[in-house]
Amino acid sequence: MPLNYSLRCVFLLVAVGLFRRTKSQILTIGSCPNPSVVSEFEVDQYLGKWYYNRNYFSIFKTGLDCTTVEYTMNEDEITIKIEGFLINNKKKKTTFGKARVVTSGKLTVTFIPNALTQGAENYWILDTDYTSYAVVWNCFPHGLMYSSTAWILTRERNPSSATIDLALAAFEKNDIDQTKLKLVNQQDCE
């Protein structure tokens, strides 16, 4: 077997493994930062429906408009239901997951089924007022690099600019890149 072919196979295996973990999130050289999270997180106040307002690119939500997430308590875990409409045909796509509170403001989530991840991922709530916005971030180390993703969730489909400013302040406070946030289309969703 030629060496060139072997190197290609190794590269392909490494790339697939990295893709499975990163889901095309933001890759950065270094180790995961340790941002501050909500210190006295109130799960009951966080439950309910949220609208995706902005997020980093994620293969998980590629091609979706009008994306929402609903959190409900189910015994000792939180059930997650993410819904959106596929851009090309307006068909509804639904993904389910589960979350557990690890410590205040820090949760782990697992999506079912999800071939793009391997087990639970961190889900850190950097800031929320529970009634208008929440800022969520996660990070996963990959040796000398890490991948991260972030979301701004809002209780209203079209929040005020003041609400978004409060959410963006959490990125600044934690020195997390907000330039990679992309607006989620929430128009013509009915």
Q: For 78-90, write each residue's pLDDT tens digit.
A: 999 999 999 888 8
For residue 171, give every residue at least 6 positions away whose Cβ sits within 8 Å of its Cβ, in sequence order, or none. Answer: 126, 135, 150, 177, 178, 181
Q: For 10-52, write each residue's pLDDT tens digit.
A: 443 344 344 444 444 678 899 899 999 999 999 999 999 999 9
Q: Is residue 190 part of a domain?
A: no
Look up the CATH number of the domain holding residue 79. 2.40.128.20
Secondary structure, 3-state, the chain? CCHHHHHHHHHHHHHHHHHHHHCCCEEEECCCCCCCCCCCCCHHHHCEEEEEEEECCCHHHCCEEEEEEEEEEECCEEEEEEEEEECCCCCEEEEEEEEEEEECCEEEEEEECCCCCCCCEEEEEEEECCCCEEEEEEEEEECCEEEEEEEEEECCCCCCHHHHHHHHHHHHHCCCCCCCCEECCCCCCC
Report, as an integer, the average pLDDT of 159-178: 96
For the chain, the domain total comes to 1
The pTM score is 0.83
Q: Is residue 64 part of a domain?
A: yes
Residue with tokens 């997020």: 55
The token pair at 144 is 């000398």
pLDDT at 23: 45
Q: Is residue 135 part of a domain?
A: yes
Q: Is residue 189 part of a domain?
A: no
Q: Is residue 8 part of a domain?
A: yes
Q: Is residue 63 part of a domain?
A: yes
Range of the structural domain that residue 72 is part of:
3-183
Q: Is residue 140 part of a domain?
A: yes
Q: Is residue 21 part of a domain?
A: yes
